[in-house]
Amino acid sequence: MGRAAAGRARRSRRGSAATASPGVGSRGGRGKKAGGSRTEPGKKEAAPGPDAFDLGAQSGRWAAFRERHRLSCEEAARLLLDAFEYRGLVKHTGGCHCGAIRFEVWASADLHVFNCNCSICTKKQNRHFIVPASRFKLLKGADNLTTYTFNTHRAQHTFCKTCGVQSFYTPRSNPDGYGIAPHCLDEGTVHSIVTEDINGKEWEKAMKEHKTIRDMSKP
């Protein structure tokens, strides 16, 4: 083979390599595309929405339940979870006199109410039953509440700025819960009320002697 022919052969091989290079690039392109579809390191994949779960044979009942009651998926789930988690309890609703404060609370239909004789409870006739904070929900009026404290400042006496009614508060005995005024509940959900007098004038002694009051705000 002459030098000219050898030169043409070398140019031909280089040209073939150049022609083949897009094929290599396309493999790299496919690799990049596949990599882009994967979750980036350190990031979690988004959790599937409520409608993404497989309800199996219950799918028809679930859809019919939502349609019949005109509920979103979240509303239906909350309704059923509440019914399961608060089994044996009823949902009471209530509020202040003017309606600026509204709440709901899960508790027994048979209420155990404390009648305290401490200075402030006597002044405002603060009879109340105690629930865990997780069972209470303020529906409206957070910006219309004001709070009074005194002495140890542990009890948070909240009342409506407009009408002055205290429909609930945070007791000193149960700072992890709420004391609910039974007389501020809407009618129809209370079956009975048992009232227990508690000696708030000797608060420390009363709390030491009482066997169950501290547990009433535990979930």
pLDDT at 41: 54
pLDDT for position 38: 45
Residue 46 in domain: no
Q: What is the C-alpha to C-alpha distance for residues 82 and 137, in angstroms, rounded to an integer?
A: 13
The one-letter code for the residue type at 111 is L
DSSP letter (8 states) at residue 215: G
Give residue 10's Cα distance to chain centre.
74
Considering the domain architecture, whether residues 101 and 177 belong to the same structural domain is answered as yes
- What backbone phi and psi angles, to 5 degrees, belong to 191? -90, -45
The reported pLDDT for the residue numbered 47 is 53
pTM of the model: 0.64
pLDDT tens per residue across all 219 residues of the chain: 555 544 444 444 444 444 444 343 443 444 444 444 444 555 554 555 545 678 888 888 888 988 988 889 888 887 777 777 677 899 999 999 999 999 999 999 999 999 999 999 999 899 999 999 999 999 999 999 999 998 888 889 999 999 999 999 999 888 999 999 999 999 999 999 999 999 989 988 998 899 889 888 888
Structural domain for 78, as ranges: 59-87
Q: Are 167 and 180 in contact (CB under 8 A)?
A: yes
Return the closest-CA partner of residue 169 out of 101, 112, 99.
Answer: 101
- Residues 109, 196: one domain? yes
11 in a structural domain: no
Domain co-membership, 110 together with 163: yes
Question: Do 125 and 184 belong together in one domain?
Answer: yes
The tokens describing 178, both together, are 């709420």
Structure token pair of residue 142: 């957070």
User: Looking at the structure, do residues 106 and 211 belong to the same domain, yes or no?
Assistant: yes
Do 204 and 183 reside in the same domain of the chain? yes
Q: Do 93 and 68 fall into the same domain?
A: no
165's enclosing H/E stretch is none
pLDDT recorded at residue 21: 40
Residues 211 and 118 in one domain: yes
pLDDT of residue 142: 96
Do 195 and 183 fall into the same domain? yes
- Total domains, the chain: 2
Domain membership of residue 160 (yes or no) is yes
77 and 95 in a single domain? The answer is: no
Residue 190 confidence (pLDDT): 97
- Is residue 124 in some structural domain? yes
Strands 168-169 and 136-140: unpaired
Residue 41 lies in a domain: no
Q: Is 33 helix (H, G, I), strand (E, B) or coil?
A: helix
CB atoms within 10 A of CB 135: 21
Give the Cβ contact number of residue 66 at 10 Å. Answer: 16
| Best CA proximity match to 126, nearest among 135, 137, 114, 134 | 114
pLDDT at position 144, please? 97
Domain containing 178 — which CATH number?
2.170.150.70
Tell me whether residue 168 is in a domain: yes
